[in-house]
Chains A and B, each alone.
Chain A
Amino acid sequence: MAMWRSGRRNIDELNAWQKADEFSTLLHDICRELNVDRDKEWLIYLLNQAGRLMRDALEEGWNRTYLAEYLLGISEALTFVALIDYYLVFLRHEGYLSVERAKEVEGKLSDVQDELTALAGRLREELRASPEGTLSAFPWSLN
């Protein structure tokens, strides 16, 4: 089975990763702005971690052998999106995030989610056509 490495682009050239990375940075900034009680500091840690893990899951999937594993990386990234979403709702309900800031960050998170979901859809199409596909066969137009 052909290996993927020859000719594959760097992860940071991919739209999905760029969006995830931008969001991770935004989340990091928001976490720094948040003025939470000491007993909620773990939440800041967790949000930062989830933002980082979301980006890393994409990268890890990208660096594996099979297209299916990239898809798995995207699925994992989407689970971290759900975790971030859950805690953003909590922060907004509890008044830690202003309505405007919450709208901004939730909108950006929604963009990341849409991007990842669409990418997963396109990859699934590709996998149906080539079930054992490696990433070497991954057409760049699907990025």
Chain B
Amino acid sequence: MLSKEDNELLCRVGPGTPMGNLMRQYWIPAARSDELPAPNGPPLRVRLLGESLIAFRVTSGKVGLIANSCPHRGASLFYGRNEAEGLRCVYHGWKFDVTGSCVDMPSEPPESNFKHKVQAVTYPCVERGGIIWTYMGARETPPPLPDLEANMDPQCRITTMIRDCNYMQALEGDIDTVHFAFLHMGHLTLEDTYEGNFLHYQIKERAPRYAVTDTEFGTCYGAYRPAEEDTYYWRFANFLFPFYTQIPPGTLVVNRGFRAWVPMDDEHTMFFGIAAAPAGGVTVAPERSKRQDVEARRVNNQRASLGSTEMLPDTTDWYGRSRPKAEASNDYLLDREKIQRGESYTGLPSVVLEDQAITESMGPIYNRSQEHLGTSDIMIIRTRLRLIRAVQALLDKGDIPPGVDQPEFYRQRSGGVILPRSVDWFEATRDLRRAFVEYPEEFVLETIGERRSI
């Protein structure tokens, strides 16, 4: 439960809003690099923090991000001609470079100096790991990019998907660990699991217990369940300022990934899922079920059993990028017979679409004054408090929020681990949660309670 005022504070991200101002302190993923594949290619419509922007790649390969409306008479620069090192408005021929300087104004007399007086709104962009990052803040020299491990691996895999709801309810789905055992795995029984693997422990005890703590980067939780007689199975996950998560499936010491819930505006979010190969190349799958393995053998595709997400072709609409075929208007391709057959808890096509359907079903901006958060929602509670207090500190005292100037805060990992009951959950995993570290396979297997490769 949240007061209406705090809910507004948390959710509204447009220009001039407190949360929007907080987010503008950080670099923000604006688009995938492959959405602007070629120099002088077609511009791209991008909604970001409530602003309508046009991304374009100029002749030299640099990326520009310019306000949609031409500063002359407001025509959309989406229709602009992407010419040598600049975008030219087709209405009167004004041309802008990636810094927003007007470099040509053929509609004015040749002797006029007017073009030097006109500046378009642009935001600086850099590319790293297949992502176009932009800085929409006020600093002349932007802060450093965050040290997000997966984004620093050129081989990382990037998934994007639009979600038709506010960023915060999408993000809260990631830090709500208990839903995994219901929404995604509610149809499984102990017989479907391999004794001693992570999934087995989750199905055996669907409601974990929690330890949650504030951290320098945001918040972290450990959800724990009994594993063997003298061990616990721990699931660690992180919220990192301002909109990143690291989720708990997989193996803590090798997971290299993060998720960004980038607000396009108050009611639309672009999800960026960035995953790199497991650290040290050690591949383990401690959460596979017997059903997944049967299904994988059947279709000869390891990922098939988690369900693939069929996407629509991108359109040039503001909300036309990375849109799944399953959406609210077709009930996300719900198949209730799959429930009857015991193949799924929900009848929805995939884990991803289960999350998509559920968070969108809460409405564009969930009214949190109506909710009933219980003791198992403590990570959500703590994360909201952390965000709200950071917004207030920025608003009242000008305090720079966590991580803006500390890229090293983002060197984190999440995932599962088996710990002896005799060790301190937080201290014992301090090194294991650290990114940019590789461990030998034998050690990795030990952390998931295995002695041999699976």
Contact code string B373-384 (vs A, CB < 8 Å = 1, else 0): 111001001101
From B2, B210, B212, B374, A90 is in contact (CB under 8 Å) with B2
Q: Is the CB of B374 within 8 A of A68?
A: no
Given A76-B211, A79-B211, are A68 and B425 also a contact pair (CB < 8 Å)?
A: yes
Given A49-B375, A85-B385, A128-B427, are A68 and B5 also a contact pair (CB < 8 Å)?
A: no
Is A72 part of the contact surface with B, judged by Cβ < 8 Å? yes
Interface size class, chain A = 35 or more
Q: Is the CB of A66 within 8 A of B427?
A: no
Contact code string A15-44 (vs B, CB < 8 Å = 1, else 0): 000000000000000000000000000110
From B3, B6, B210, B373, A76 is in contact (CB under 8 Å) with B210
Q: Is the CB of B427 within 8 A of A83?
A: no
Is B139 part of the contact surface with A, judged by Cβ < 8 Å? no
Q: Is the CB of A83 within 8 A of B213?
A: no
Q: Is the CB of B384 within 8 A of A82?
A: no
Cβ-closest chain A residue relative to B224:
A72
Within 8 A of A (CB), among B346-397: 372-375, 378, 381-382, 384-385
- A72 CA to B427 CA in the complex, in Å? 11
Within 8 A of B (CB), among A77-102: 78-80, 82-83, 85-87, 89-90, 93-94
Given A82-B382, A86-B385, are A124 and B427 also a contact pair (CB < 8 Å)?
A: yes
From B1, B375, B385, A80 is in contact (CB under 8 Å) with B375
- A106 CA to B211 CA in the complex, in Å? 22
Q: Is the CB of B423 within 8 A of A68?
A: yes
Contact code string B1-14 (vs A, CB < 8 Å = 1, else 0): 11101100000000
- A75 CA to B209 CA in the complex, in Å? 11
Q: Is the CB of B425 within 8 A of A83?
A: no
Residues of chain A with a CB closer than 8 A to B5's CB: 93
- A71 CA to B32 CA in the complex, in Å? 44
Given A53-B375, A78-B213, are A68 and B421 also a contact pair (CB < 8 Å)?
A: yes
Residues of chain B with a CB closer than 8 A to A42's CB: 372
Nearest-neighbour CB distance to chain B for A135, whole angstroms, equals 11
Residues of chain A with a CB closer than 8 A to B381's CB: 82-83, 86
Cβ-closest chain A residue relative to B6:
A93
Q: Is the CB of A86 within 8 A of B384?
A: yes
Is B332 part of the contact surface with A, judged by Cβ < 8 Å? no
Is B426 part of the contact surface with A, judged by Cβ < 8 Å? yes
Nearest-neighbour CB distance to chain A for B18, whole angstroms, equals 16
From A82, A83, A90, A127, B3 is in contact (CB under 8 Å) with A90
From B1, B2, B374, B426, A75 is in contact (CB under 8 Å) with B426
Nearest-neighbour CB distance to chain A for B234, whole angstroms, equals 10
From B1, B378, B422, B427, A79 is in contact (CB under 8 Å) with B378
- A79 CA to B378 CA in the complex, in Å? 7
- A45 CA to B3 CA in the complex, in Å? 19
Contact code string A108-143 (vs B, CB < 8 Å = 1, else 0): 000000000000000110011001111000000000
Cβ-closest chain A residue relative to B2:
A90
Q: Is the CB of A94 within 8 A of B382?
A: no
Cβ-closest chain B residue relative to A53:
B375
A→B interface (CB under 8 Å): 42-43, 46, 49-50, 53, 64-69, 71-72, 75-76, 78-80, 82-83, 85-87, 89-90, 93-94, 123-124, 127-128, 131-134
A-B contact pairs, 9 of them (CB 8 A): A42-B372, A49-B375, A69-B422, A71-B424, A80-B378, A86-B373, A127-B424, A128-B427, A132-B423
* 3 closest residue pairs by CB, A with B: A75-B211, A66-B422, A93-B3
